[in-house]
Structure 1
Amino acid sequence: MSTDSNSLSFASGWSENDWRSEAVERHFMDRVNEHADEEVEWEYHPDQQLGGFEEMHQLVQGGSVDMAITLPPYLPGSYQLSEVGLIPGLVTDQKSASESFWRLLSPEQDGTLFEEEFEPNGLRPVMASQVYPAELCMGSERIETIDEVEGKLIRTSGSIGEWTVNAMGASPVTMSGSEVYNALDQGTIEGTISPLTVLNSSSQHEVINYMTEDLKIQSFPEVYSMNVDSWNNLSDGTQEAFITAADEVITNRHDAMMDKVESDREAIGDSIEYYSVDDPNAWENQLSSVQDRWIESFDDQELAETVLEKFGSEA
């Protein structure tokens, strides 16, 4: 962690060539300096130079870096409320969901997630977003009705992902993202739940033939956090610059993400058939049980229900 309030270290897992490095991280640094009364000297460490995604939280919490990407689903048990966007059906519009998520994180706005999960861990969220919603992707069988997915082996990860696949009537198979290609190719699994942008970057489009485009099953949360001591060392003007930049990044990320979705779809071409399911209400009704299961997983169920309502009313 830097001892100079105008010099900040920033660690991330995305490579410098990844679209998020430019559209989110570099854009944020540029916007901060555009608004700040004193220019911040950024020491930027992309591409997991200082550690993997799972280690970023420890790096920033321990003060090894001032700021880092902190992904709630990679920290089971610590940020359960912040995983709310993973619940099926809540995210229908990525930009609106990101704005709703940020309101819950930002101390200047609602701040519930900051008070409940980040502040107790010595972290101060500085920007956040929800990713493009994931869909059901199948290797060789087109699934149109909720009954047709029963018993299928579907890759997932995390508690909410497992509950979601179970709610469908399918059989959840837990594995890392790097294992999905071979598992689909060898028939170990029959499908996965994924956003389009992952299929192209991981080459999974080579082993996936069918993808829904209207289920919007879940959306992964991304949070960037600062060590609270680093935040408190910033001048009032620089803090205000961070707050302003956070709102601007949501719009820029959304626009860049939509460009990425379009370019990925063009790159994939005709190898995947995109389709709308029969009777989407039947899917929605069956998946709605995940909301109840999520709430019941908390000791303070009233708080969980409040977060769910606040997030869902805006997303």
Structure 2
Amino acid sequence: MFSLYHSTAILFISCLVPSFREVSEIQASEKVRHGVGYKLGTRKQESSSVIRRLAICAMVTLLATPLLFLSPSRADTERITLRLHHFNSPKSIAQRLFIQPWADEVEKKSGGRVKIQVFPAMQLGGKPSDLYDQVRDGVVDIIWTIPGYTPGRFPLTEVFELPFLTGSATAASQALTEFHQKWMRDEYKDTHPLVFHSTAPTHIHTTEQQIRVLEDLKGMKIRTPSRVNSETLSALGAIPVGMPVPAVYEALARGVVEGTAIPWTIMRPFRLHEVTDYHTEVDLSRVLFVMTMNKQRYNELTPDAKNVIDSTTGMALAKRLGQMWHDDENPGRAIAVELNHQILSLSEDERERWQEKTQIVVNSWVDKVTALGYDGRVLLEDAKHLLAKYGSD
């Protein structure tokens, strides 16, 4: 397809045709005109006019001809395919309601110039804990993962996993996004973060044992997704067992673990209601996510492609994803109700006991990040402030 430049060049060149034709006519008729008294001045004027036209056309052609050899602009024609890798199943909520719709939105807004090719369930190889290294090293272009799958690597992010920091998924997702902008840029400086978001608070779901008081939890093997969650469960007397969520169903079914700490929204896509019977609503912690891009790959994008990526991610997407997780809490809980599972809540006194037991986890986090050169107390208070700020929206 010709670009505007090609068409313009051809139009300019076409002006040469009548000039050359006129030259031929003058030459062909010169003898006749000379023989019948044709005036020399008139002939000179006509020749001069033609020469001027030829000169102008030659100049324009000289300028326009290189355009004929230019391909249409890169922004107009380049087709970019970005590979997105993640650990969740193709049927998961994240894949169906977030990742694939986002990929489709990018392709549509770019007019088909940017395509996101999604590879769920670790189809490109490796373990969930490898995802961040894969995107950093350029093995893939984009990943979606849980920062907690690599314990200790993202210590500032962990503040939003600390026990009993209340707040909805919507509030936490926006709070985490602003917290990144203020404090966490160095933590992800070797990639280009696209969006942070959070689930609703986690509860404890067990196979055979009711959890009403601290003593019920003592010695139980409970699956956990991250270091902070593990420290929290340890402080409560449980035995934490780390594993990615796709492995939880089988671990519960085989008795490898006796329970798991997850939000209600995870129950349905992973069918965990089939292998649990008891649920203690405790608002213990939350699961955090990041979608991030290889830094060099992002920097190499055309301005138009960058604009599409930027305009479909960031705070607006974080808010939308938080709302997605929030809205999916009730359907997850409803399944347990329909199956006549026992859903328990802590009394106020018992909740205070749990908070007292887990304060050591909060203090430990403050000490760790302070040792890294930050003011841990300031960061903790700012996280609480941001949760309250977005919780009031």
User: Fold conserved (TM > 0.5)?
Assistant: yes
Measured after TM superposition, the shift of residue 164 of structure 1 is 0.6
Amino acid at match of 1:45: F
Larger Rg: 2
| Equivalent position of 1:239 in the other structure | 306
**2:329 counterpart (251, 261, 276):** 261
Q: 2 CA distance for matches of 1:171 and 1:134? A: 15
**3-state secondary structure, aligned to 2:83:** strand
Amino acid at match of 1:277: L
Amino acid at match of 1:125: P
| Equivalent position of 2:122 in the other structure | 48
Amino acid at match of 1:290: V
Output the TM-score relative to the length of structure 2: 0.67
**3-state secondary structure, aligned to 2:229:** helix
Q: 2 CA distance for matches of 1:195 and 1:238? A: 35
**3-state secondary structure, aligned to 1:89:** coil
Measured after TM superposition, the shift of residue 32 of structure 1 is 3.8
| Equivalent position of 2:293 in the other structure | 226
| Equivalent position of 1:113 in the other structure | 184
Q: Is the 8 A contact 1:295 1:301 kept in 2?
A: no
CA distance change for structure 1 residues 28 and 186 in 2, over 3 Å: closer, same or farther? closer
Give structure 1 stretches of 5+ with no counterpart.
Answer: none
| Equivalent position of 1:276 in the other structure | 345
Q: Is the 8 A contact 2:107 2:116 kept in 1?
A: no
Matched, 1:71 2:146: yes
Q: Identity over aligned residues, as a percent?
A: 21
Matched, 1:24 2:98: yes
| Equivalent position of 2:284 in the other structure | 217
Amino acid at match of 2:295: V
CA distance change for structure 1 residues 24 and 304 in 2, over 3 Å: closer, same or farther? farther
Matched, 1:289 2:360: yes
**3-state secondary structure, aligned to 2:151:** coil
Measured after TM superposition, the shift of residue 223 of structure 1 is 0.5
Number of residues of Structure 1 aligned to a counterpart in Structure 2: 303
Matched, 1:314 2:389: no
| Equivalent position of 1:104 in the other structure | 179
Measured after TM superposition, the shift of residue 244 of structure 1 is 3.1
Q: Is 33-42 or 66-75 further displaced after alignment?
A: 33-42
After superposition, the CA RMSD in angstroms is 2.9
Measured after TM superposition, the shift of residue 59 of structure 1 is 1.9
Q: 2 CA distance for matches of 1:144 and 1:78? A: 34
Q: 2 CA distance for matches of 1:7 and 1:180? A: 33
Amino acid at match of 1:252: R
Q: Is the 8 A contact 1:97 1:130 kept in 2?
A: yes
Q: 1 CA distance for matches of 2:220 and 2:265? A: 23
Q: Is the 8 A contact 2:135 2:294 kept in 1?
A: yes
| Equivalent position of 1:137 in the other structure | 205
**3-state secondary structure, aligned to 2:335:** helix
Greater relative contact order structure (CA < 8 Å, 6+ sep): 1
Q: Is the 8 A contact 1:140 1:210 kept in 2?
A: yes
Q: Is 304-313 or 223-232 further displaced after alignment?
A: 304-313
Measured after TM superposition, the shift of residue 133 of structure 1 is 1.8
CA distance change for structure 1 residues 13 and 180 in 2, over 3 Å: closer, same or farther? closer
**3-state secondary structure, aligned to 2:194:** strand
CA distance change for structure 1 residues 154 and 237 in 2, over 3 Å: closer, same or farther? same
Q: Is the 8 A contact 2:145 2:291 kept in 1?
A: yes
